[in-house]
């Protein structure tokens, strides 16, 4: 027994090698579930891929033809524009609301505990279910939203929130914000709890008001976590799909055609152009990557 123990002790790996060994399972898992699909999607985007080719497993190489096709497609460019509007609106509103709510629930009040629990509820609702709930809320004749506006006198006639091209994209954005906001609140709330209270006390002694304390202490210290939220939420907002599927299906007309909906329609409805669908997702991924790099660079430069 003693010999075996000393043998194991003598054979213990150096810290660097141990670190590599410990990371290998994670690396392999990530390679399998992330790297391979990303590589495979890139491969598909350079080939002609439809049902018959997928079944046979033989994909003719077409070079950049699929990319050429999407950039020639007015609908793809419109979908990108809609995606940008959707992302800018939803991420901005989400960050502002998340900071406000995180500050509120950070107060030492007994109601904060109840609020902390309640804000998690939307996060637990599956995206499609959330979309369907909101499509009922938006219903022209029977929806709660029109009923509330009508009974409170804010509107004299019903509004087709999801059916009017002027409001449809925002009608999709609101459920998305509602569903994903808790994630941002949780991160910000955790970050708020890590801020040393002595900083606030010192600032108060120096005569700083609430707004000044927020601007000069809270916000700078929250910047790293805001960057994380910006990167994550922008990435996910760029890939919005569930709400579009459940509420508008891209309509009315092309008012809510977003990039992920475009990829889905290209790849999963006749004539099943998987190669074109893959190419469009790649363009999307590159845009998201560039925005993430820009965010990190911009915010950290300011922090330094």
Partner 1 sequence: MIDKLAAVRRLGRRDLLLATAGASLLGGGEAAAQTAGPWAIAPKTKVDKVNFVVWTYGDIYTKIQAKFKADWGVTVESTISAFNDHPAKLMTMYAGSETIDVSQSSPFSFPNFISQGLVEPLDDLPGAKDYLADLTDSARQVAVYDGKLMGLPYFSTVWVWNYYTDLMEKAKFEPFKSYDELLEQLRKAKKDKITEYPIFWVAGVGLEQLPGTWYQMTWNRGGVFFDKQGNHQLGPGSVARETLKWWIQTFKENLADPESLKAQFTGSAKAFGAGKNIYRGPNHHYGLNVANDPAQSPNAGKIKVHGSPGDGKTIGDTHVYFLCTANRDKEWAWKLLQYLGGKTKDGQYSQAINLARDAMLGSGYKSVMQSTAVTEGWKPWGDPVEILAIWDKATYVAEVVPSIYQPWHFPWSDRINIEVSKALTGQITADACCDTLIAAIKEVQKG
The whole-angstrom separation of Cα 268 and Cα 50 is: 10
14 sits in the region (left: phi over 0; alpha: psi -120 to 50; else beta) called beta
Binding residues among 218-277 for partner 1 as defined by CB under 8 A? 249-255, 257, 265, 268-272, 274
Q: How far is the CB of 128 from partner 1 (least distance, A)?
A: 12
- Would you list the DSSP string of 57-77? T---B-TTHHHHHHHH-HHHH
Please report whether residue 163 would count as binding partner 1 according to CB under 8 A.
yes
Contact code string over 267-286 relative to partner 1, x by CB under 8 A: -xxxxx-x------------
Q: How far is the CB of 155 from partner 1 (least distance, A)?
A: 14
Q: How far is the CB of 297 from partner 1 (least distance, A)?
A: 38
Eight-state DSSP code of residue 208: -
Contact indicator for 295, 304 with CB cutoff of 8 Å: no
The whole-angstrom separation of Cα 84 and Cα 78 is: 10
Q: Which is nearer to partner 1, 182 or 267 (CB)?
A: 267
The whole-angstrom separation of Cα 237 and Cα 175 is: 12
Nearest residue to 168 (alpha-carbon basis) of 144, 192, 134, 197: 134
Binding residues among 71-110 for partner 1 as defined by CB under 8 A? 73, 75
The whole-angstrom separation of Cα 53 and Cα 32 is: 23
Size of the site for partner 1 (CB under 8 A): 31
Eight-state DSSP code of residue 194: T
Q: How far is the CB of 51 from partner 1 (least distance, A)?
A: 4
Q: Which is nearer to partner 1, 51 or 290 (CB)?
A: 51
59, 140, 170, 236: which one binds partner 1 (CB under 8 A): 140
Contact indicator for 81, 257 with CB cutoff of 8 Å: no
18, 54, 96, 210: which one binds partner 1 (CB under 8 A): 54
Taking CB under 8 A as the binding criterion, the range among 97-105, 157-165, 198-206, 278-286 that sits at the site for partner 1 is 157-165
Residues in the site for partner 1, rule: CB under 8 A? 50-52, 54-55, 73, 75, 139-141, 158, 160, 162-165, 249-255, 257, 265, 268-272, 274
């Amino acid at each position: 027994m003693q010999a075996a123990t000393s043998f194991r002790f003598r054979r213990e790996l150096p810290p660097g090698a141990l670190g590599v060994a410990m990371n290998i399972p994670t690396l392999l898992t990530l390679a399998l579930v992330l790297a391979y699909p990303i590589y495979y999607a890139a491969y598909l985007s350079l080939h002609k891929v439809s049902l018959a080719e997928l079944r046979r497993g033989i994909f003719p190489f077409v070079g950049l033809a699929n990319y050429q096709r999407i950039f020639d497609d007015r609908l793809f460019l419109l979908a990108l524009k809609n995606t940008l509007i959707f992302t800018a609106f939803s991420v901005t509103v989400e960050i502002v609301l998340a900071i406000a709510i995180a500050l509120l629930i950070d107060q030492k009040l007994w109601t904060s505990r109840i609020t902390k629990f309640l804000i998690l509820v939307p996060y637990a609702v599956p995206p499609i279910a959330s979309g369907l709930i909101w499509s009922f809320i938006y219903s022209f004749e029977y929806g709660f939203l029109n009923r509330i506006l009508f009974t409170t006198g804010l509107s004299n006639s019903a509004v087709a929130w999801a059916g009017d091209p002027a409001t449809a994209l925002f009608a999709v954005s609101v459920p998305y914000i509602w569903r994903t906001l808790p994630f941002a609140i949780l991160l910000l709330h955790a970050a708020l709890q890590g801020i040393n209270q002595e900083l606030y006390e010192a600032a108060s002694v120096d005569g700083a008001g609430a707004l000044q304390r927020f601007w000069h202490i809270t916000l700078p210290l929250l910047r790293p976590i805001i960057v994380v939220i910006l990167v994550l939420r922008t990435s996910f907002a760029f890939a919005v799909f569930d709400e579009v599927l459940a509420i508008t299906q891209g309509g009315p007309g092309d008012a809510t055609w977003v990039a992920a909906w475009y990829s889905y329609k290209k790849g999963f409805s006749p004539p099943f152009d998987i190669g074109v669908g893959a190419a469009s997702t790649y363009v999307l991924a590159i845009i998201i990557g560039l925005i993430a790099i820009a965010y990190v660079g911009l915010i950290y430069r300011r922090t330094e």
